[in-house]
Amino acid sequence: MPMGHTATAEAGSGGLTATEHRLANGLRVVLSEDHLTPVAAVCLWYDVGSRHEVEGRTGLAHLFEHLMFQGSKQVHGNGHFELVQGAGGSLNGTTSFERTNYFETMPAHQLELALWLEADRMGSLLAALDDESMENQRDVVKNERRQRYDNVPYGTAFEKLTALAYPEGHPYHHTPIGSMADLDAATLEDARAFFRTYYAPNNAVLSVVGDIDPEQTLAWVEKYFGSIPGHDGKPAPRDGGLPEVIGEQLREVVVAEVPARALMAAYRLPEDGTRACDAADLALTVLGGGESSRLHNRLVRRDRTAVAAGFGLLRLAGAPSLGWLDVKTSGGVEVPVIEAAVDEELARFAAEGPTAEEMERAQAQLEREWLDRLGTVAGRADELCRFAVLFGDPQLALTAVDRVLGITADEVREVAAARLRPDNRAVLVYEPVENGANGANGANGANSATGTAEAAGAAGATEDSDEEEGAEK
């Protein structure tokens, strides 16, 4: 059996524990018992995302996520979906800048099936990967790009802002969806090489959470994953480091068929896993995290110049995080009016910082979000994988809220003063093709945004929603 150690419950973890183990082939395994309901979640994170792609082959990580559902040596075609759903479970996969993950939630007595399925495609996907499956999923991904990005209002906003915020050649300059040209250029051999390089047990973390018997679960993991060979040829990701401040305001105006004018911006913020990043999260929560936030109160309630105003954090571990601002205008309001009000609020916040009441409310909001993530077996499995892959320690997931609650108001003000400045942002302004598209349709514009709004959410981005592409079959 693989060696492991058991974690003890720490302050702030709510009594939750996790045990860590490593197989001889390098696969890290994290187990967390929860006997509240008879279900079990399996989550597998591979340390590969769009930041690992090379020029000319963008979108390959996301394309491969889809290929992972096209069959393996012993599971043909759509069999993975059919077996999991036939057993009463649910499943999917997503791709981000920094990782690709796959997950199933099963009735507890069907846990072995999920483990076998994940191991079979990790160990034998190449046996089933052929031209037919490659062309099938290439078309699926291209159609997904059309439906979610190219042919919807504001659909390419996230892509455009990311390209502005990260310079040409930076590993985060392009988003996981990739370009049509690169998707067309990807070959079957590209996909096979990608699998051989990144889909190895020593480049993955497997978490199992729920109504499990740890000893039996480890026996199944060893049985199905233990014989899969590791691979040592993975290249290190390119350096994502950048200066703390952009140094100028980058700006693009887009004239498009959108229902309302919009102001969107991305601010360069500290990397995830740092105290400064947690302080920035609190700052953006006070400023734009929901209907009690400063920007919502100013723009939507008081001035009535906007129908929606959100500000949130896209956490990134390998590059500066981004603070996403998303404002949809009301009626015929011009964007400069909105921008002036935003800058006024940011300057006031940088000078005064949050009030005690705002700090308490923001910390409570982030604590609730943390509890929501850990409150389900699937959410907890994902968080354990996240902290293991990105920060080397899954136990950090159980105490993440303590670090947020320990941030002071002075730290929040300081990060706002240092980073939420006009010379540290990329700005995207949307102007409707016809001015008459404004007015009563403004509210619909706020609801139909699927680019930045999809990535950042109405109240801002979290790590879990960063430009993820679901394996929707």
Tokens, residue 131: 């031209």
Of residues 297, 256, 281, the one with CA closest to residue 445: 256
Task: With cut-offs at 50, 70 and 90, classify the pLDDT of residue 459.
Answer: very low
Query: Does residue 447 have a pLDDT over 80?
Result: no
Report how far residue 266's alpha carbon sits from residue 325's, in angstroms, rounded to the nearest whole number.
6
* pTM more than 0.85: yes
Percentage of residues of the chain with pLDDT beyond 70? 89
Query: Does residue 206 have a pLDDT over 50?
Result: yes
**Beta-carbon contacts of residue 233 (< 8 Å; ≥ 6 apart):** 196, 197
pLDDT tens by residue, 233-289: 889 889 999 999 999 999 999 999 999 999 999 999 999 999 999 999 999 999 999
Q: How many beta carbons lie within 10 A of that of residue 443, not counting itself?
A: 14
Q: What is the pLDDT of residue 434?
A: 76
Of residues 205, 206, 214, the one with CA closest to residue 42: 206
HSE on the CB side for 28, CA within 13 Å?
Answer: 22
Tokens 């950042």 belong to residue: 456
Contact in structure between 144 and 95 (CB atoms under 8 Å): no
pLDDT tens by residue, 36-91: 999 999 999 999 999 999 899 999 999 999 999 999 999 999 999 999 999 999 99
Q: What is the pLDDT of residue 450?
A: 28
pLDDT tens by residue, 282-313: 999 999 999 999 999 999 999 999 999 999 99
Query: Does residue 333 have a pLDDT over 90?
Result: yes
Query: Does residue 455 have a pLDDT over 90?
Result: no
Q: What is the pLDDT of residue 427?
A: 98
Indicate which residue of 20, 65, 383, 454 is catalytic: 65
Q: Which amino acid is at 376?
A: T
Task: With cut-offs at 50, 70 and 90, classify the pLDDT of residue 14.
Answer: low
Query: Does residue 401 have a pLDDT over 60?
Result: yes
Q: Is 65 a catalytic residue?
A: yes
Taken in order 372, 462, 149, 78, the sign of the CA dihedral is: negative
Sort 141 into a burial class: Cβ within 10 Å, 0-12 / 13-18 / 19+.
buried
Q: What is the pLDDT of residue 471?
A: 37
Q: Per mean pLDDT, which range of 45-59, 66-80, 370-384, 452-466 is the poorest?
A: 452-466
HSE on the CB side for 124, CA within 13 Å?
Answer: 16
